[in-house]
Chains A and B, each alone.
Chain A
Amino acid sequence: MTDDFNALFMQSTSTTSPVIRLANIEKVYQTRTIETVALSQVNLTINRGEFVSVMGPSGCGKSTLLSLMGLLDEPSSGTIEIDGRPVTSYSDKELAGLRNHKIGFVFQSYHLINDLSVLDNVEMPLLYRPSIGSSERRRRAIEALDKVGLTARTKHFPAQLSGGQRQRVAIARALAGEPEIILADEPTGNLDSVMGEEIMELLLGLNREQGTTLVMVTHDEQQALKTQRLIRFFDGRQVA
């Protein structure tokens, strides 16, 4: 399994090649009574090694966009390509592998597992990599927690943490897998300005030193200005 994925990921090493491409994306949420068009006519390319920020008013579809890029949900129409290959051509198992190895996702509302300690939560993406032993898993998780400044809270449970601390655990969980792409939904939304600044530096560092591709949703203009490209959304459409 690991060899397959290595082959899959090693194929494109050029720094300007598109890593995620969305073409004519539309996403409609259907509930019993109403139909919400969350995204419409979205055409977007994220290149390898880019740091892109996404802004827009509440409800304009930013989280929806990120969940499509993260292969967590499927578009109603249009195509998503990862490394130049349409997502629909991947098997369920390959998709799981992509989510696991290639993408790190920071949920807007953290989505930690309440019955697992901070450390166990952060270890989770590594749990689905059979090649990584338990001590290596632990080491990497602690390293990731160290980066977000939470090594003192490893044995706590999510319910025992503040909102900002939970947010940092969620970031550490995305970092632990050392993914090529990090998709972060308002990663500093719950942090004070100092802590927000630190996390921003951390992400910029990853982008600079490891060439990690980053897409970050933010409401903070200052942060957005530090990224290489800013995309604005309004009412499900890209406006800039």
Chain B
Amino acid sequence: MLRHLFTLMWNRKRANGLLILEVFMAFVVLFAVGSTGVYLWRNYQAPLGFAYENVWQINLNSGSQPRAEQVATLQRVLAKLRTTPGVEVVSRTEDTTPFSYNGNSGNITTGTGDTQRRTEEADFYSGGPELREVMGVRLVAGRWFDRRDETPTRRPPVVITEATQAELFPDGQSALGKVIHYGFHENQERVVVGISGPYRAGGELSEPRSALFGYISPQDTTTALNTLLVRVQPGTGAALAKRLSDDIRLTSGGRWSSDITTLREQRLSKLKVLLTLPAVLGVVCVFLLVNVALGLFGVLWLNINQRRAELGVRRAMGATGAAISGQVLGEILTLTTFGLVLGLLVAAQFPLLGVFNIKAGVYLTAMLLATLGLYALAAGCAFYPSRLAAGIQPAVALREE
């Protein structure tokens, strides 16, 4: 019976070509949606590595104040904020705060020459001794920055994430005490003092990757003058925000202004922006799929109607209704398989060529999902036409020509 099916379909290859094309297109759409979906879902499942509730970001605007005076003002502002009731911890940081659109990234290396190891693109953050507490970063080994780091040294301290450690030292050695290099100051040696859990300031939808924290000393006069992250007590709100903003202005002699947002707001606004494109694409794809499904259904339906005579003859020769609908379903699933194989050949290029630098697993999962989706789509579209075919009576053979 299977050979009979193949023969019949081969003899009708011209008409079936259209169907195969249709199926192929459906697969491409499903694969595109699937890849995006799987990619975002996988990212979403990975831990963020910090707690954003009750954390506020304060952007300071020092106005026209000369840079030389800014550090002193900043120290006064910090001291004031740290004693304000409702404020738990305050940390200086650079503008690569959670859910912001700013980023700083590059490769991290260790060792030299033949034994040098380097990570893939990694994120660089920086923060003071309080950053860990503000963000609730998990410490896995070693220590976070503290007073010991205030003494200037030839090799500033750095805290790297577990993922970075695993990438730089795949043999399972501890990175503690090891010297690494990263970023612009590639010649600057840094010594690893702590290993932390993950930290994905890019948010839930960003791709998990290696990261590290550089040290901002309380005496630092060159960087991190404009951005503060503050952990406040739960339940505090607009009143505290107003008070902090007033404090900043007063403490700076009226020269500084500030802009306070909660990380929760920032997260939501970033999610909105990041999800807009996939959502639009998703809607477009749903439309495309509905179109393809209708097309498939139409072609199948037409196909059955054009073949009433043939199916009637088969019934007259003793085929049962079930055999006829089985034949029709078999034909459709075989065609689907042909379109699918074409689609898989194309889709397989994505993981093979490493398109968009996305892990092969994402593409493979998407291929599996698209395959299942396609068969479901085909079976769904074929259901009614196959029932229609099963209902054709042998008498039809007498009438159709």
Contact = CB atoms under 8 A, between A and B. Distances in A.
B236 interface: no
Interface string B8-26: 1001100000000000000
**A73, A101, A112, A125 — which one has the most chain B CB atoms within 10 A of its CB?**
A73
Interface string A192-226: 00000000000000000000000000000000000
Contacts of B309: 111
Contacts of A74: 395
A120 B4 contact: yes
B397 A99 contact: no
A187 interface: no
Nearest to B394: A72
Contact of A115 (B3, B12, B323, B397): B12
B398 A72 contact: yes
Contact of B398 (A63, A112, A113, A123): A63
A116 B8 contact: yes
A124 B317 contact: yes
A173 B8 CA distance: 17
A92 interface: yes
Nearest to B321: A92
A113 B401 contact: no
A100 interface: yes
A105 interface: yes
B167 to A, nearest CB: 58
**B12, B314, B315, B320 — which one has the most chain A CB atoms within 10 A of its CB?**
B320
A61 interface: no
Query: Interface size for chain A: under 10, 10 to 19, 20 to 34, or 35 or more residues?
Result: 20 to 34
Nearest to B311: A113
A93 interface: yes
B66 interface: no
A109 interface: yes
B2 to A, nearest CB: 10
Contact of A100 (B1, B8, B318, B395): B318
A120 B8 CA distance: 9
B188 interface: no
Interface in A101-149: 101, 105, 107, 109, 111-113, 115-117, 120, 123-125, 127-128, 134
Interface in B289-313: 309-310, 313
A100 B324 CA distance: 14
A74 to B, nearest CB: 8
Given A67-B395, A115-B8, A115-B12, A105 B3 contact: no
Interface string B245-283: 000000000000000000000000000000000000000
A120 B7 contact: yes
A60 B146 CA distance: 109
Nearest to A99: B318
Interface string B367-401: 00000000000000000000000000111011001
A109 B312 CA distance: 14
Contact of B401 (A71, A97, A109): A109
Cβ-closest 6 pairs across A and B: A100-B318, A73-B395, A96-B320, A99-B318, A72-B394, A115-B11
7 contacts: A67-B395, A96-B315, A107-B398, A115-B8, A123-B4, A127-B1, A128-B318
Given A96-B315, A101-B318, A115-B12, 6 more contacts: A74-B395, A93-B320, A96-B318, A107-B316, A128-B320, A157-B11
